[in-house]
Structure 1
Amino acid sequence: AEAEPVRRVGGLLRVTHQAVARGDGVEQVLWQLWTESGLQDKLLKQVERGGSLAAQADRDLDAVVALFDAAGRYVDRLPRASVASFADYLGAQRIAGDTLAPAAVPGDGVSLLTAHAAAGREWTVVAVAGVQEGAWPDLRLRGSVLGVERLKDLMAGVDDDAVSQTAPILAEERRLFYLAMSRAKQTLLVTAVSGEDEQPSRFLDDLEENGADDGGLDSRMKPPGRSLVLAELVGELREVVCDDKAEPARRRRAAKQLARLADAKVPGAHPSTWYGLLPASSDEPVHPPGDLIRISPSTVEILTKCPLRWMIERHGGSDPAQLAAVTGTLVHGLAEAVSSGRTEAELQAALDEAWVRVDAGAPWFSRRERRRVEQMLQNFVTWLERSRAELKEAGVEQDIEVELPAGGSDEVRVLLRGRVDRVELDADGRPVIVDIKTGKVPVSGADAEAHPQLAAYQLAVLLGAIKGSNEPGGAKLVYVAKANNKTGATERSQPPMDEVGGKQWLELVRDAAASAAGPDYQAQENPDCDRCPARGCCPLRPEGRQVPGP
């Protein structure tokens, strides 16, 4: 399987060699190579799925189009050129060419060049833009992926000190910066941005120390001028209109210009599209009083932590196609197959069949994830074997459903239902809930004892959701991604729930269900905020905090 990419490349090289041998032109050879690669359908499917892979697929398609455009321009210029000469032409380019225009810039045009390409040339005015720390100088170590250059230095006895490796790079970056500045005959403009995430380059300090002349060095931080971007103009006009302290005449002029832009269908110009001005579309709860609210034990966990996250994820705010979710579902399916008596060969065949449909990105990453899934499966098998002395299997992927008893004057009706990964029986015949987790970081022992999902399952047992016994024997989280020498997989346990604990959790589950009824959903800070998929819409997070209303 690992040699498959090499075989595909070899096949494409044979196709290319045959096309060149037939005397096909540059464009014909490229087209045959493209069609034989099969990348078209793959990239188009990635674009349709959306997400980060779609953005990468867009860039890949743009690169292919640019390659064919370059081939067309090259053939127009040299109709009888060979494929080898076209490859040499592309390899010699420092900046990709996109027109047949001559190298000299006509009239009052501007040359856009890298510092290397500017060597040996001069201009009256030179602008060196984006002189930011981390970009210029760029002190990343150069070399191959395997670090062959570093290995040669070590074998030659050269000091492997980080400073000794970066010092030559810093010197080269400084020479390159001076080269760019020295291209100016009369006026030099060097720009940088100073903000929370970006800082000007250290090279600007060299300018302040050595660059003063009779006219002085102007290093002032100048306020930005008015942008020529239409969206920023709309924003500026809206700011004036909504400012109660602005002069009435100025506000009227801004409103008039916004009306003109709105008539021209400019996005954001019409007040009906302004966030915070329109009233809420409805203030009715999602579940009216007396309605039956259906929640699962996993829902109880999310609602207990943050009702807003639950609402956003419930209505499309999470991506079920994420690799972690896909592999989690796959591991649960394989664990179920283990319990049904499938052999190791059958499990591997099932994994092979399923993994073909998993989009794990780069081949090396896909292979790593595949090995991780295999290890999780092995950890589960080991846990299953070693836990038989204490537990006896009573059910796999077992559905539970129970309506919570009414709580006095409480109008909330709650149906608790879900699917348990495994139901085991302890030595006393009591049901023990087992929930398989594929996450890499187990919760603490204290958190497991108060784990809402496990408690909701135990509450369901206490209320008779599992036939044969309404006395819970406890619950376990089994982290198959983290091996354990003793048990096979890391465990976290929750003690059996008694009647007192059952009453407490009954109220907590009712409260969770009430928070799901709406219409208001509160954002609650919790340890999962940094990795919450809904943080882009959360008012507690900088990236999700709403702009102030007028």
Structure 2
Amino acid sequence: MSQSNKEVELNPQQQAAVSHGKGPLLIVAGAGTGKTRVIVERVGYLLNNVAGLQPENILALAFSNKAAEEMRQRTKKEEFWERFGNRAQRCRVSTFHAFCYDLLREELALRALDKIDQWIFLRRHLEDLELDYYLKASEPGRFLHDLVDFCSQCHDNIVSPADYRAYVEQAASEYEKRISEGKPLPDGSRQEIERLRELARVFECSEALQEKEGLLSFGAMISKAVSRLKESPELLHRLRQRYRYILVDEYQDTNAAQWELLKLLAGERRNVTVVGDDYQAIYRFRGAADGSLEQFRENFRCEPIVLNRNYRSTESILNVAKEVAFKMESYNPQKKLTPNKPRQEYKVEVLEFADAEQQAEWVAAEIARKVESGEADIAVLYRKHVLREVLVDKLRQRGIPFSIRGLAVNNLPPVRDLVAYLRAIGHPEDNVSLARVLADPQWELDARQLVEYCRAASHSKTSLRTIIEDVNCSGWPDRSRLLDLLNRYHTVSGEQRLATWLEALRRELGFNDPAYEPALGAFSEFVAQWDKEKCDKGMLPEFLEYFAYFEEAGGKVTLPEQEGPETSREVASRLHAREAVAAEQLELLEQTAQVASPGKVQLLTVHAAKGLEFEHVFLVHLVQRAFPVPKRQPLISLPAALWKGPLPKGDFHLEEERRLFYVGLTRAKKQLTLCTISNETRKPKQRPSRFLEELRDAKCPDLEWKQVHPIATAAPPQPEPQEAPARPGSRIARWTRWAAPASTENFSLSISQLQTYLDCPLKYQYRYVWQVPVAATPALSFGSTLHAAVKQLVATASQDPARLNPETLQEILRQHWPTAGFVDPVQERKYREMGLRQLEGLWQTLARQPFELLHQEKTFHLAQGAIQLVGRIDQINRIAGPDVELIEYKTGRPQTQKEADQSRQITLYALACRNMLKLNPLRLTLYNLETQEAVLTKRSSEDFQQLEAEIVEASQGILAGEFTASPGYHCRYCDFRPICPSWEDQSLENRGAALHSTGSTRDPNSE
């Protein structure tokens, strides 16, 4: 029999699903049971067996771009063409968002906003939003992600601004009614009503602003399409006539708006086929609703066809996965997966390590062993990208080529270099970016010269650019060439759009290394897309502002998942993918080499692995607080009364994490290795994930636990690479290992310097050793302004309190207010309001509490061995005799009692007061100006000894040139991130690391 006449072999359940006739069909398809194959075969069956049905009458929808593309590719396979021809190519295959975006664009000229661009849009319209509760002066954009998520959540549940406004006003009416009836109210009720009203105002305003400018947010695409269909019976009738059959993949990930869309499109025919697996519902954080499959069954009154023959994994792997499924709220014994493969000897291993270093070393060694034996198709899965860093180092040491999905190219050195050049061209006063540029080897400058120029700029209170313009050319021959390039492109940037000259700059800089081309090409494409869709004039200053907001919002520049031009119908899908990467969840970067080439190891998050399969899977760092991750309570939530569809039951966060763990397990075809850390001596203690403990308690015979002892042998030495010409690119990361010579002579340390070193020694090096000039942050500028105003207010209150009144306070603030230094007028207004409110509060406090002022801003120089400790005490009040009160004013976030008790600043001031001023600091007060709260604290001799020990430790480290970075949350707004090596991804330094996407090998029966 010829191939063209062959029927594809399907199991009975698959055959029943494929050959289902008219009416609704629910297919519950477990992992690896061939769900995509069933969908595609059903398309072919309908085309061959439904009279008069044309390909254009079939609509296939999916949650993700990856799933939609997989369906498209299956219809292009040769064996499919031989049986059904090319007719299926004319079926509409799309994501929900792309379908709705196209529907709306048929009548309106709309431009799509993904989550990051919506954040930027709102950031630029802060003044219009009239925020109060959700505006923090030091971080104006801090709450915008929460506001964007809230608006998206409203759209997911088809809640309009008017609906939400009505809900808020109803709550306000009930509040007023309780007041009128004299009933007690919870504390903060009035403030809660005002907060809700602010949310309603923001939702209404943001929607109106977007509509005015012809914009459509990603979150609103589906709800707006639903509204349009309800408003236009003619349009709805036309779509129902066009799409006689609808098929939906990944149905477990849909939400209320998508459900409403399906009901509208299905009409009376109800020819809707949905495929899903509630065990793999892992996108609730992106709006997916709970219980979608059950809701479909109840509303369409159809019994599911269950696909449970697994064509992917061994029996051992499936038995372990079954134990995980057994703990789920949605557990159903009818869904037990049965293996299609004969039983193999491999058990699932759980390996316990002492720490992350040992775990990474063992995994890298095991991968190297497999590669040497010719094995391929290996993946390492992790919960978050940050968990891969140690492993990347170990793989690189062993010369094992790897690919990374979800790698942001804007964290790669060549892209950071190019951005530094753009900033140095567009913002000549940007000293940090210019420092990175000066470290490019083509300018023939060394680290000592760079530090010399930075120090000169800092001492003269001028810019680094001004210093290098005045440098003697004989000491630096390439200075003129660099200045010529910067000046020339600065002129060009004022005359031409960035997209027209960016490639010329790249060529002139010599950024043409093949290893860097994918990353730099992706950045150039990012600029081109910005120029085409997201800007006004397309000039460099406009881009630099956009890119600063883009990175502040957490945006990632990534490579396209596949080659070829993007059609208009793929716009929403592309946005979908980028939004997910920004949340560190979905796909993108893969390898350039053949997938099956030995040693090509894929590193990716478990979210990104969904839908993929690999011969051997290492699931690493299965540790408490790492997997499952702690629950993050959203700042803003849609009230339960406004949710459409079933509400989640139980601990839905833990349930989703368990399902994600299940997804990770079921990616493995042949071997599965689970890695954890058990270390009771470490702080905090590291213990196996609760999911592993549940498996241990289940006593699953297919699970083998082992404790791994440290590997005695180091990674094999790699052969010396052949000499290659030096690449262009900044050496700033390497230069951080060079410390300028330090001297104990006149060595002094302030409390802020001490705090900086203890927080991050590398930041100390940049700021105080290299002295790279940076402008004061708005928060610091405001703090300095308020301290000066408070000093004047306190002095006046002490000498002539009758002079003080509200007008005097405004004048005091005006006298000290800076003329610049704020990000925008919104931030300045917020700070000014805060400043006046804090001065008025302090004035009222001083009027109630008489005091005897002894010193203001009292400077001290306290000898601590060979070190001079320097500082300035805000205020000293006399109590009686030598007894005094020290007061330290805080203008920012109110400090807690614990923070006051642990404040090194208060400890040092008390020590200086006692040892240098010969006064007894009887009362130590940290005064929060924002709340007008005085937090009293004490110090013991042990506190002084601890501070002295920290001073000795820090000074020894500084003098020894120990400046290692300590990355953490405090890095978020660090001025030196553009030159900090901790914020650079060195993956490109692995010559085997790959940056293109090619997909993954699959068993055709399993998906």
TM-score of the superposed pair, with normalisation by structure 1:
0.49
TM-score of the superposed pair, with normalisation by structure 2:
0.29
Report which of the two has the higher share of helix: 2
Higher relative contact order (CA closer than 8 Å, sequence separation 6+): 2
